[in-house]
């Protein structure tokens, strides 16, 4: 990926988009979620005095409203878990930050509100979860069968980055494939940089998307799928 295809991380945090969607966006969301085949539940982890927790709740409610209804039930739903009041449940998923949106037992998660451009990866992730098909290349699926050690993939993003949703979706689907294989060895965590500056600073992120695998920066920019899977296997073996 060339330098002009990266999004610089601004030194001064811009306002992160909130959870409100205009009517056109709501209609586009409804059209996109019409492709859902089965139910998908998200877990929303929140805490007190958290502005983006409420914004994320509003955003997810838009997804509920836009999702198809089958037998009187919405195909997309979410459940709110308070970090302070439901500490044991949060601990079960190893989630400590709010807001966090989690799927499939926390193996796919968004740390920070998945708004702005990142809505695209959230939509596509929900659709693929509902279809039960990650959409990876067959070669990638075969390679992931060789994975034997746990891997955490952190995709550092910003809401204005147009390339970040593709990186996030790729990581999410690798985690989903590992989940479907019964191994459950990959956690894909999409981290909103402005809400989590300590994580961005930890990896010295200057441009996004930046991808860390087991706390090693592996890519800055959007990698090819095969390179991404190969790097996961390589770094997993070093852990």
pLDDT band at 223 (very low <50, low <70, confident <90, very high): very high
pLDDT of residue 20: 76
To which H or E segment does residue 5 belong? none
* pTM, to two decimals: 0.93
Backbone angles phi, psi at 138, to 5 degrees: -60, -35
Nearest CA-CA partner of 58 in 96, 22, 32, 97:
22
Per-chain mean pLDDT for the chain: 92
pLDDT of residue 129: 98
pLDDT band at 1 (very low <50, low <70, confident <90, very high): very low
- The string of pLDDT tens digits covering residues 59-84 is 999 999 999 999 999 999 999 999 98
- The string of pLDDT tens digits covering residues 149-188 is 999 999 999 999 999 999 999 999 999 999 999 999 999 9
Reduce the DSSP state of residue 200 to 3 states and report it. Answer: helix
Helices (H), the chain: 23-33, 51-66, 87-92, 119-131, 138-144, 164-180, 197-202, 225-238
pLDDT at 221 over 60: yes
| Eight-class DSSP state of 143 | H
Domains of the chain: 3-238 (3.40.30.80)
């Amino acid at each position: 990926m060339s330098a002009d295809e990266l999004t610089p991380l601004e030194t001064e945090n811009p306002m992160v988009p909130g959870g409100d969607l205009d009517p056109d966006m709501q209609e586009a969301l409804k059209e996109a979620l019409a492709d859902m085949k089965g139910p998908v539940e998200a877990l929303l982890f929140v805490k007190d005095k958290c502005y983006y927790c409420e914004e994320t709740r509003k955003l997810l409610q838009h997804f509920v409203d836009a999702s198809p209804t089958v037998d009187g039930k919405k195909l997309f739903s979410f459940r709110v878990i308070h970090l302070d009041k439901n500490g044991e449940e949060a601990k079960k998923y190893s989630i400590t930050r709010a807001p966090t949106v989690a799927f499939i037992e926390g193996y796919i998660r968004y740390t920070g509100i998945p708004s702005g451009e990142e809505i695209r990866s959230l939509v596509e992730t929900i659709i693929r979860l509902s279809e039960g098909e990650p959409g990876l290349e067959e070669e990638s699926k075969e390679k992931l069968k060789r994975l034997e050690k746990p891997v955490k993939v952190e995709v550092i993003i910003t809401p204005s980055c147009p390339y970040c949703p593709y990186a996030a979706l790729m990581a999410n689907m690798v985690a989903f494939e590992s989940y479907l294989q019964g191994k459950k060895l990959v956690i894909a965590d999409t981290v909103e940089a402005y809400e989590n500056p300590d994580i961005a600073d930890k990896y010295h992120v200057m441009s996004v998307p930046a991808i860390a695998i087991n706390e090693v920066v592996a890519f800055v920019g959007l990698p090819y799928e095969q390179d991404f899977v190969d790097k996961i296997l390589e770094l997993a073996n070093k852990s």
